[in-house]
Structure 1
């Protein structure tokens, strides 16, 4: 039994435990995630989406093998045990090729699954819910399930041929599609028990072939909509009463839990309630890079106070210029006049600037920002400005638990967001105001 199966089994036995999934590829976010997992003594599930990583490179430029090596290298720099890492693939299917005919898109999806499983990705979300160019819209549930079963068959064969542990699977999908956001203007409906039951039964039938019986036993979760989401400027928070029937439904189905996507920006109390109500796998992505962006923008504000304008990195301006020059990742998502578009590019909860941190000119601006601040690490002026722009980190620096180093400050900011997920999921929960919790910053002092 894998670590994922063990956690799901413990949850189904009545333990109030869950699994948080960090859906991000940014180095500073992943380093912070490793510190969170170490502090709260959890496994660390890192997932790549079909947009981020594929056999052609995705928007990160990495294929699954390269992404695995990238994560393992980061783990080595932190002395983080590789056995505590779990890699997952999110929304694996024809998503990236849905503008192509189904035969072509599914051919690419089959190669995608092979690449992920052969690279050692253990948790596989099978998502064939999107219509391809010559498909009806919406796609029939039976077609979705049949295509998912086809990909599971390839995953099973690939793992066996590679001598790897067989994968665990997540089925089902939710709105929004990967990389998108749903408008909350009209409200958001919780998945009905009837819809969940139909999805589960149709997939069970699709997996009924003898060669997929073992794979069906390793379906650990189903994606549903518990009534949580966010758009560019608003969050729909979890309402346990609205999800009561859905939560009760999963109690009648042994061995699985629900997986909740778009849990970003939920309160910590809501995260605890989601785990309690059997939405035991919590996905987080944009909220982590939003915290990263907040930290970088705060450091850029400090830089402007400390240095002459001609020496500054101009990070905000460089980032915005890059986004305007390369609008593919935000143009179809944001609307409004030029002032509104700039606000959304910089500050929207959907955080579509996360796609631009790897651009050479943006990366160079970040590097310059870090270099510019390094000589001021021991300056009293830095403390004054941290009090203004990063007050939580200021207090930790004053207490001697956090080094006044830019990377440490960034990671601490991201740590705070991801720690909420760890506390909601961990067996040994650490209280928000406990002595152990306030000591968390010590892990950043020598990084």
Structure 2
């Protein structure tokens, strides 16, 4: 059943809550897995890009919004997934990538980014102007945040009218876990206070109205809150429904809204189902998907090391280690401890900051060599048991490595689909 974003609040109000998983990744294999799975299930495929990952200047992926749309559409066409089944979202769209500049300069860039997203066809827009810029506090109050969100919404509205098509729907709110997970071990996470949610909604509602954008606010479908879930480098804080009940009751007074939950990675089927049942209808997932993709790639790297003469001893892992040491900026502020501890975290941290390196030319070459080494080879059952026991269906038959990788990612997607559809 294909549930649409605009229907989520009505499903909850009717007592039959449904959800939609949001795939936050630019990796082509992740995107292919999401599109293939969505086609097979007949479900909405919600794919999101973040402000740092994709923006009008290229972001860390080198892709502008139109480039990201072209990539998704190309893979969708190859998979036979109708574009009508796909929703593209922009996450944390605001001044964050330029917060080292003064507020006006940062907001000017944010406006250009929002325009580029909407012009390219993104229609789920998370307005996030909560972060301070140069000479400002790290976190801004609701009034300033709302005023800047309204400024960006005006850009989105104007651009959408110029390019035609559906008008955007919006997500507001910013109380989220650190992008990519926390850097330290966690014991507990406190859910957002109900009064904070009500205050955020009231201030934004008033700011939109004063700017003549009441119609745009009517298309706000959700608010980001902290349900009490998170993951660090080594551990996961699972959803505790009892602790979130006062927060959940806020939705009883806002029947047109749902909650959006970030960092739901690694929760598993039961906590995810609880989140959806309680009104956290949009479940963001990213690092888990690249983590299990890395897991599958490393399993194949080990298999090839044992099976293929001349392949070498784990050359993919060694190449990824070389790349991360040569360019440590994406991990060294997040992984603490002695050299041995950091070496483990570089490859196996739940925050999976190795994901920033897969798009490099050297990593792509190493992956291509691995795939070429194993394509068409029969993997003996005992060898598969050794390195990825859950994948025994792929043993003793000619291997298609990309199918194997997509299967592993799809296992995570299936847990989200089950939770979202009762």
1:30 Cα shift? Answer: 1.1
Question: C-alpha separation between the residues in 2 aligned to 1:194 and 1:212?
Answer: 24
After TM superposition, list the pairs within 5 Å mapping 1:348-427 onto structure 2. Answer: 348-376=349-377, 379=378, 381-395=379-393, 404-426=399-421
After TM superposition, list the pairs within 5 Å mapping 1:88-103 onto structure 2. Answer: 88-103=89-104
Contact 2:180 2:352 in 1 (8 A): no
Which has the higher mean CA deviation after the structures are superposed, 2-11 or 236-245? 2-11
Q: Match of 1:434?
A: none
Q: Match of 1:50?
A: 51
Which has the higher mean CA deviation after the structures are superposed, 294-303 or 249-258? 249-258
Contact 2:171 2:220 in 1 (8 A): yes
Which has the higher mean CA deviation after the structures are superposed, 389-398 or 353-362? 389-398
Q: Match of 1:124?
A: 125
Pair 1:205-2:206 in alignment: yes
Q: 1:179 to 1:98 in 2, by over 3 A?
A: farther
Q: 1:342 to 1:313 in 2, by over 3 A?
A: closer
Question: C-alpha separation between the residues in 1 aligned to 2:149 and 2:245?
Answer: 28
Q: Match of 1:268?
A: 269
Aligned residues: 420
After TM superposition, list the pairs within 5 Å mapping 1:158-307 onto structure 2. Answer: 158-179=159-180, 181=182, 183-185=184-186, 187-209=188-210, 211-307=212-308
Question: C-alpha separation between the residues in 2 aligned to 1:369 and 1:310?
Answer: 8
Question: C-alpha separation between the residues in 1 aligned to 2:175 and 2:407?
Answer: 31
Pair 1:85-2:80 in alignment: no
1:389 Cα shift? Answer: 1.6
Contact 1:312 1:372 in 2 (8 A): no
TM-score with structure 1 setting the length: 0.90
1:397 Cα shift? Answer: 5.4
Query: Could you say what secondary structure the match of 1:345 adopts?
Result: helix
Q: Match of 1:23?
A: 24
Q: 1:425 to 1:186 in 2, by over 3 A?
A: closer
Q: Output one character per residue of 1:97-125: Cα deviation in whole Å (capped at 9) or x when no partner.
A: 11111111100000010000011101000
User: Alpha carbon RMSD of aligned pairs, Å?
Assistant: 1.7
Question: C-alpha separation between the residues in 1 aligned to 2:303 and 2:47?
Answer: 32
Contact 1:11 1:18 in 2 (8 A): no
Query: Could you say what secondary structure the match of 1:188 adopts?
Result: coil
Contiguous gaps of at least 5 residues in structure 1: 430-447
TM-score with structure 2 setting the length: 0.96
Q: 1:300 to 1:339 in 2, by over 3 A?
A: same
1:65 Cα shift? Answer: 0.4
